[in-house]
Amino acid sequence: MTRSGTLALGGIVGLSGVIALPLLGAGAGIDVGTVALRSLPVPAGFPVDQFLAHWWVFPASILFSMVALASGVSGALFFSPFFMLLVGLSPSQAIGAGLLTEVFGMGNGLLNYVRQQTVDYATAKWLLLGAVPAVVVGAFAAHVVPTTLLTIAFGAGLLLLGAFLVYYDPPEECVPGECEGEFLKRKNAGRGTTTIETTDGETYTYDTCWRLPGLSLATAGGFITGLISAGLPEITTTQLIVRCRLPPRVAIATSVFVLAVAAIAGAAVHALAATPVWYVVAWSIPGVLIGGTIGTRVGKYVPSEIMEPALGVVFAIVGVIVLASEVLA
């Protein structure tokens, strides 16, 4: 996008909150908002009327990103089914819009982790070797697979990820190496140690693990993320702790870093394969920026041992609804 196009889109995003107010009021407010928006140098072909009609995506995005950041769950688990079931986008459009929204939504959390120096970059490098190519393949597959199969895969993915959140303990509750097993213990032995020194004075020293399990998990999670826009952090974070011995704080930060890079690659593929639904993401992106800021502040007060299983049940139910809507259609 050119600099002028970026500035124009930025102007639209910046006015989202202002325009939303008259939209919430009388019908005349829509005329005022339309006139105000049309007076701006919007990109040629931008669907102004559709944009204004979807103002309600903005408050919904604030709410979803607050819950996602507060609970540590991938925001795309909220946005993709929301875009598909309520906004009415096609599965490939919803997945692409969800992944693009998540790229912006994770910015606050990622920046904090980088500043705190809690990312294990050596492990992240190996995870990215599997995650980035896999997410690209998954994103391309989302635009090649027939819509019916993609919808079924999306619903099944939500159902499985919901079950995963219910079955596994939250990352903060996991004990490093508790599911390592004798085979991994032998493979992990003698590979040296890794030390992470954070800016707040914490020092984490742990045995460096065998890279292949993490690489395999990241590859599987990357493909699923490219295909249905979620799955990489849910799959990798807990397993990095229980099988690769990473401390929970380091595992979470490393997974977020890997997801951020992989999500950018996946979002780029979705954007190239199909025109992004700008009239939706122009509302969702500023929404997640606001909601993410609030979510990171209230997250420490949220009991993850209750929130994550509860969200797992919700996602499983949504997965069933998606599957039923396709099967019964």
Residue 159 belongs to what domain range? 111-275+302-327
Number of domains in the chain: 1
> Has residue 96 been placed in a domain?
no
Could you report the per-residue pLDDT of 27-48, keeping only the tens digit for each?
444 455 555 555 556 666 667 7
DSSP 301: G
> Has residue 122 been placed in a domain?
yes
Query: Reduced to 3 states, what is the DSSP secondary structure of residue 39?
Result: coil
Is residue 13 within a helix (H) or strand (E), and if so which, with residue range? helix 3-14
pLDDT at 21 over 60: no
Sign of CA dihedral 320, 323, 326, 329: negative
> Has residue 47 been placed in a domain?
no
> Has residue 311 been placed in a domain?
yes
> Has residue 91 been placed in a domain?
no
Q: How far is CA 189 from the centre of its chain?
A: 34
Could you report the per-residue pLDDT of 156-212, keeping only the tens digit for each?
888 888 887 787 766 666 666 666 667 777 776 777 788 898 888 889 888 887 778
pLDDT at 218 over 50: yes
Looking at per-residue pLDDT, the higher value among 318 and 109 belongs to 318
> Has residue 48 been placed in a domain?
no
pLDDT at 57 over 90: yes
Comparing 76-90, 149-163, 167-181, 275-289, the range with the smallest average pLDDT is 167-181
Q: Residue 128: its pLDDT value, please?
A: 92
Q: How many residues does the chain have?
A: 329
> Has residue 117 been placed in a domain?
yes
Q: Residue 322: its pLDDT value, please?
A: 85
Nearest to 64, CA basis, from 285, 302, 326, 256? 285
Q: What does the DSSP assignment read for 150-210? A: HHHHHHHHHHHHHHHHHHSPPGGGPPTTTT-HHHHHHHHTTS-EEEEE-TTS-EEEEEPPP
Could you report the per-residue pLDDT of 120-134, keeping only the tens digit for each?
998 899 899 999 999
Comparing 19-23, 262-266, 299-303, 311-315, the range with the smallest average pLDDT is 19-23
Is the pTM here over 0.95, yes or no? no
> Has residue 181 been placed in a domain?
yes
